[in-house]
Structure 1
Amino acid sequence: MSEASTLHDNNKPPFGVLLVNLGTPDEATPAGVKRFLSEFLHDHRVVDMTRWLWCPILHGVILPVRAPKVAKLYQSVWMDGGSPLMVYSLRQQQQLAKALGVPVALGMTYGSPSIEAGLDQLRQQGCQRVLVLPLYPQYSRTTTAAVFDKVAKVLKARADLPELRFVNQYYDHPEYIAALAGSVTDFWQQHGEPDYLLCSYHGIPKRYADNGDPYPHHCEATTAMLAEALAIPQDKMSMSYQSIFGREEWLKPYTEATIRELAQKGIKRLDVICPAFSVDCLETLEEIAEGCREVFLEAGGEAFNLIPCLNDSPAHITVMEKLVAQHSQGW
Structure 2
Amino acid sequence: MLDATTPAQRPTHAPNDHPKVKTERVGILLANLGTPDAYTYWPMRRYLNEFLSDRRVIDYSPWKWQPLLQLIILSKRPFTSGAAYKSIWNEEQGESPLMTITKDQTAKVSAAMQARYGDQVMVDFCMRYGNPSTKSKVRAMVEAGCRKILFFPLYPHYAGATSATANDAFFRALMDEKWQPSARTVDPYFDHPLYIEALAQSIERAYAKAPKRPEILVMSYHGMPERYLMEGDPYHCQCQKTTRLVKERLGWGDTEITTTFQSVFGPEEWLKPYTVKHVAELAKQGKTNIAVAAPAFSADCIETLEEINEEIKESFEEAGGEHFTYIPCLNDDDAHIKALSAVIEENMGGWLE
TM tier relative to shorter chain: over 0.9
Q: Partner of 1:109: helix, strand, or coil? A: strand
Alpha-carbon RMSD = 1.3
Q: Is the 8 A contact 2:25 2:145 kept in 1?
A: no
Q: In the alignment, which of 64, 72, 93 is matched to residue 106 of structure 2?
A: 93
1:272 to partner: Cα distance: 0.2
Q: Partner of 1:122: helix, strand, or coil? A: helix
> Hey, what's the Cα distance between the residues in 1 that align with 2:262 and 2:217?
15
Aligned to 1:203: 223
Q: Is the 8 A contact 1:179 1:310 kept in 2?
A: yes
1:11 to partner: Cα distance: 7.3
Q: How does 1:176-195 map to 2 (within 5 A)?
A: 176-192=195-211, 193-195=213-215
Structure 2 residue 157 is the aligned partner of structure 1 residue 138: yes
> Hey, what's the Cα distance between the residues in 2 that align with 1:229 and 1:57?
46
Aligned length: 323
Greater than 2 Å deviation, 4+ residue runs: 9-14
Aligned to 1:25: 36
Aligned to 2:267: 247
Q: In the alignment, which of 126, 136, 148 is matched to residue 145 of structure 2?
A: 126
Aligned to 2:191: 172
> Hey, what's the Cα distance between the residues in 1 that align with 2:240 and 2:140?
37
| TM-score (structure 2 length as normaliser) | 0.89
Q: In the alignment, which of 44, 61, 81 is matched to residue 72 of structure 2?
A: 61
> Hey, what's the Cα distance between the residues in 2 that align with 1:170 and 1:13?
28
Structure 2 residue 59 is the aligned partner of structure 1 residue 48: yes
Letter in 1 for 2:45: K
Letter in 2 for 1:175: L
> Hey, what's the Cα distance between the residues in 1 that align with 2:25 and 2:135?
20
Q: Which digits, 9 at most, give the CA deviation of each residue in 1:86-111, with x for residues without a partner?
A: 00001111111111012111111110
Q: Is the 8 A contact 1:105 1:121 kept in 2?
A: no
Q: In the alignment, which of 242, 245, 250 is matched to residue 230 of structure 1?
A: 250
Contiguous gaps of at least 5 residues in structure 2: 1-11, 13-20, 115-120
> Hey, what's the Cα distance between the residues in 2 that align with 1:98 and 1:124?
21
> Hey, what's the Cα distance between the residues in 1 that align with 2:321 and 2:41?
34
Aligned to 1:4: none
Change (3 A) 1:127 1:61: same
Q: Which moved more, 1:142-151 or 1:183-192?
A: 183-192
Q: Is the 8 A contact 1:20 1:132 kept in 2?
A: yes
Q: Is the 8 A contact 1:77 1:285 kept in 2?
A: yes
Aligned to 1:281: 301
Q: Partner of 1:22: helix, strand, or coil? A: strand
Aligned to 2:311: 291
> Hey, what's the Cα distance between the residues in 2 that align with 1:96 and 1:12?
22
Q: In the alignment, which of 169, 173, 176 is matched to residue 154 of structure 1?
A: 173
Q: Is the 8 A contact 2:25 2:122 kept in 1?
A: no
Change (3 A) 1:127 1:109: same
> Hey, what's the Cα distance between the residues in 1 that align with 2:124 and 2:75?
33
Identity of aligned residues (%): 41
Letter in 1 for 2:252: I
Aligned to 1:5: none
Structure 2 residue 350 is the aligned partner of structure 1 residue 330: yes
Change (3 A) 1:326 1:63: same
Contiguous gaps of at least 5 residues in structure 1: 1-8
Aligned to 1:39: 50
1:12 to partner: Cα distance: 3.1
Letter in 1 for 2:131: S
1:188 to partner: Cα distance: 1.4
Letter in 2 for 1:219: C
> Hey, what's the Cα distance between the residues in 2 that align with 1:109 and 1:250?
23
Q: Partner of 1:43: helix, strand, or coil? A: coil
Q: Is the 8 A contact 1:105 1:119 kept in 2?
A: no
Q: In the alignment, which of 305, 328, 335 is matched to residue 315 of structure 1?
A: 335
Q: Is the 8 A contact 2:292 2:325 kept in 1?
A: yes
> Hey, what's the Cα distance between the residues in 2 that align with 1:12 and 1:131?
17
Letter in 1 for 2:302: L
Aligned to 1:3: none
Aligned to 1:108: 127
Q: How does 1:3-18 map to 2 (within 5 A)?
A: 12=23, 14-18=25-29
Letter in 1 for 2:173: V
Q: Is the 8 A contact 1:13 1:103 kept in 2?
A: no
Letter in 2 for 1:239: T
Q: Partner of 2:258: helix, strand, or coil? A: strand
Q: Partner of 1:15: helix, strand, or coil? A: strand
